[in-house]
Amino acid sequence: QYKSNREFLLSSLRDRSPLGTYYNATVGLSPDTVHGMFLCRGDITKQSCSNCVKTATLEITKNNCTYIKDAIIFYQECMVRYSNVSFLRIVESGPWAAMYSNVSFPDSFLFPFRETLSDKVEKLIILTASKSSLSSLTPYYVRDRNKVNEFDRSYTLDTMVQCSPDLDPANCSVCLRLAVQGVSSCCNNARIAQFFLPKCFLKYDTSGLPTTQSPSGSFSVHAMKGNEIYVRIFITTMATSLLALVGL
């Protein structure tokens, strides 16, 4: 019965995906109730959102998650989740998925850059409060691109943050700060990084900083549940969609 409810839920997520960047639903009666949601990145088209959600809802029940009652799948453009336990309005520190560039900048830039990134995200967190209404086309989504004068030079920092609309502004802020901590822990001094949590994500891209090696276009992808780390895939282009599939 749970499997049947899960399939109905994922089908409803696919049906709703052309209509907006976020949707949640609940199907079935206890003990076979299934809760689910999808969240698309705020800067993509409706068609891209729909395509991503449709792919995710089909992939999430394959492989190791076929008989799992609680799973989440992260893509660059969207995430989809289902569970036998309600997760609405709850901030979670994991599982997470991270993708970061193998091209890095010198260690001497690391701590000043982390401080700059943290300060930038703090400013974006304040801005998200004004976009928390579900009437907004892309609630809780903010992107900022500007020049930073640091290290006796100027470089470009492109930062994007987004929260799931079921969170209130305070919990959105908590989630994004967890994402900042995650980036600092996982991605060292990567020139580009994306960090995904179940209820929010953070992405940054820098240009104009010196690098320790020639750009290769390659990225590493990691996913984590609790204290276990899974190296899922190694991809060679930012255009590749799949990040990680994690059974909770």
Residue 198 within a domain: yes
Give pLDDT, residue 208: 78
What DSSP line would sit under 200-245, residue for residue?
Answer: EEEEEEEESS--SS-----EEEEEEETTEEE---EES-TT--EEEE
Residue 245 CA to residue 63 CA, distance in Å, equals: 9
Residues 77 and 101 grouped into a single domain: no
> Tell me, what's the pLDDT at 227?
38
Give the per-residue pLDDT at 32.
96
Same domain, 102 and 178: yes
User: What residues in the chain have per-residue pLDDT under 70?
Assistant: 132-137, 151, 211-248
- 225 within a domain of the structure (yes/no): no
| Residue 83 and residue 169 in one domain | no
Residue 111 resides in a domain: yes
Range of the domain at 173: 97-207
25 & 65 share domain: yes
In this structure, the answer to whether residues 39 and 118 fall within a common structural domain is: no
Q: Are residues 6 and 105 in the same domain?
A: no
Predicted local confidence at residue 64, as pLDDT: 72
pLDDT, residue 202, reads 93
- What local confidence, expressed as pLDDT, does residue 133 receive? 59
Supply the pLDDT for residue 59. Answer: 93
Number of domains the chain is built from: 2
Picking from 88, 118, 148, the residue at the C-terminal end of a domain is: 88
